[in-house]
Chains A and B, each alone.
Chain A
């Protein structure tokens, strides 16, 4: 039993089994309207946060660097996927009809000479602003003049416009029969991989200036960079939708294995998505586990234990750290990309410090440095969070807590979540500071037979002074 509790694969098996048993049934069994099922949404959130937990575990758990900015990766992955879906979707063979009144001309464009800016109308969409005319101002001016001539009572016109560099569609803009390069399963998986790679690259970039830092200093710098990312996301509206965020809808959400998210409340789609996430979780597990057991994983553990001794053992500490940031960023990006589809609205709130802290809490709770700890921590704390979300609804509480009066307004506000987390962490630190499932080294001593086998075995890796 003790052995089983320390086996990451056993924990993965347990969770996968639970997710399959509790998860949605195939729509063929008649349970179609899964989308509205609160339980399935909770399970999806838990699975995605498990991926985040595994990703952050590489930097905090394996390499021992306290990273307080993981939300940057989670948010960036979500934005890459959401923006990628929304911005690349274009009408095929037809140009977009934009309301004339939404076309924004600069002062220079208004004063331009005839023919100076002729050609098709090309625009760039800015969610907080409208369509910026990039070229073809002449046609816009002519259309505006015609509109004015027709008098104020005339019907508002639209104008055919072309997207600028493919990045044009307003958030949520519908197109009747558009091309959607990432709208298929394969396209979505590709986009997910791109999100992973972008976040991995960001991890390395962010890592370069922080390489020399350890301990508290590293934590503070990651916190600072996360704040920069948060503010950048809030302000770069052309890509992120600014404060409104990016909304995905039935048009932009990719079809998964042929399932359309629009049909019959998308039961099949949710079923398929659920299993895509589950497979991604298993992927993240194998990814982490293989790295943990590799030469690189040993380097990380050595750096965590003693950086100087690691260096003196021939480990290139900087390279190993950068690879940790890369691997961690990759998983964050992939998880974030999946989260975008689950949420369908991606805003800068994804990049808040609070989100980073929650994932750190998973690791502290589960036990720093083990995959099983990250999984258990995510399941417990995220499960608790979702339960508290229910308790924040006085109607739900009234209906489910039997001794309350029919007009009870008792509820636990959502903001109390951190309070309860805090209390749990205090209790944990008092009674089990190493976390629920901490790493354990070693085992039973090797048998006499095993020792003899080792002594007799030959390997070129064993040589003292050039002699084997």
Chain B
């Protein structure tokens, strides 16, 4: 059984069919990529998997369990974490606090617990340490106490990844993680993604940087105008004529 099995996924926005009959699987322990030109429906597919958008048709099975129609936070609790294309950080909180929010599902203290025990609990101490360790994992520990909005672009991407990892996912969805990064940052990102996969987290990503995609992906799906036009290993995708046509257009 694959970790994520999506079959016949479809979404209509009024008359627009954003994603149509898209089936794919993500194998446990793999790095899988979803590519396609702008407006192909990649982010819509991501949003459906994570519950931000409810699909019109199809099913999404994660470890055999249906995710379709579930609330976003419950999907996160199942072990699916994500980052966003337009980075969504909690800008006016410190870098460390951003990660601590990500730990939410691993912590227990509720309303009464907070009132009765106060902030100096073992759980809060551990949460701080764990947040720091996630920051260290993505290489942001020295910036732990800075305001999140003060981070540079590449750092913001990495912080978002750290926050997603803090929820303890087994599947991590990255929406254009390399967008806007310089070549050096991209190299570091590739290393980080590999490190995450090697630790045992399955990675599913949308990306436009073909060099990155070809370098790290084991399986690639290509969407164009909501339809799947190709799937396969990087070598096959690179030479697929539909893909080339979709990206470069057809000479008149």
Given A308-B88, A314-B167, A444-B145, A464:B101 Cβ within 8 A: no
CA distance A89 to B136 in the complex (A): 64
**Which partner residue on chain B sits nearest A455 by CB separation?**
B136
**Which partner residue on chain A sits nearest B47 by CB separation?**
A308
Give the residue of B88, B119, B136 whose beta carbon is less than 8 angstroms from that of A293. B119
Given A301-B93, A441-B92, A464-B137, A290:B146 Cβ within 8 A: no
Chain B CB within 10 A, most for which of A312, A439, A441, A445: A312
**A455 adjacent to B145 (CB under 8 Å):** no
Give the residue of A296, A312, A455, A463 whose beta carbon is less than 8 angstroms from that of B114. A296
Chain A interface bracket (under 10, 10 to 19, 20 to 34, 35 or more):
35 or more
CA distance A400 to B164 in the complex (A): 64
Proximity string of chain B (130-169) to chain A, C-beta cutoff 8 Å, 1 when within and 0 when not: 1011101100011111111010000000000001111110
**A442 adjacent to B145 (CB under 8 Å):** yes
CA distance A352 to B216 in the complex (A): 63
Given A299-B104, A309-B90, A454-B129, A446:B201 Cβ within 8 A: no
Given A294-B119, A445-B143, A464-B137, A301:B103 Cβ within 8 A: no
State how many angstroms separate the Cβ of A64 from the closest Cβ of chain B.
11
A-B contact number at CB 8 A: 176
Residues 79-132 of B at the A interface (beta carbon under 8 Å): 81-82, 84, 88-95, 97, 100-107, 109-111, 113-115, 118-119, 124, 126-127, 129-130, 132
**A462 adjacent to B134 (CB under 8 Å):** yes
Given A290-B119, A294-B109, A445:B133 Cβ within 8 A: no
**B127 adjacent to A454 (CB under 8 Å):** no
**A314 adjacent to B104 (CB under 8 Å):** yes
Q: Within 8 Å of chain A (Cβ to Cβ): is B231?
A: no
Residues of A within 8 A of B91 (CB): 305
User: Chain B contact residues: over half helix, strand or loop, or mixed?
Assistant: helix
Q: Within 8 Å of chain B (Cβ to Cβ): is A311?
A: yes
Given A294-B114, A464-B199, A312:B148 Cβ within 8 A: no
Given A309-B90, A311-B72, A298:B97 Cβ within 8 A: yes
Residues of B within 8 A of A297 (CB): 114
**A443 adjacent to B130 (CB under 8 Å):** no
**A313 adjacent to B142 (CB under 8 Å):** no
State how many angstroms separate the Cβ of B48 from the closest Cβ of chain A.
13
**Which partner residue on chain B sits nearest A299 by CB separation?**
B104
**A317 adjacent to B73 (CB under 8 Å):** yes
Give the residue of B76, B100, B106, B142 whose beta carbon is less than 8 angstroms from that of A312. B76
**A302 adjacent to B101 (CB under 8 Å):** yes
Given A290-B118, A296-B114, A445-B145, A462:B90 Cβ within 8 A: no
Which 5 pairs, one residue from A and one from B, show the smallest C-beta to C-beta distance?
A: A465-B200, A294-B114, A461-B130, A314-B105, A454-B132
For this complex, 21 residue pairs linking A to B, each with C-beta atoms less than 8 Å apart, are: A287-B115, A295-B107, A296-B114, A298-B100, A301-B97, A308-B52, A309-B88, A311-B72, A313-B164, A315-B104, A316-B71, A326-B111, A441-B94, A441-B97, A443-B145, A445-B142, A445-B146, A454-B132, A455-B136, A461-B129, A464-B165
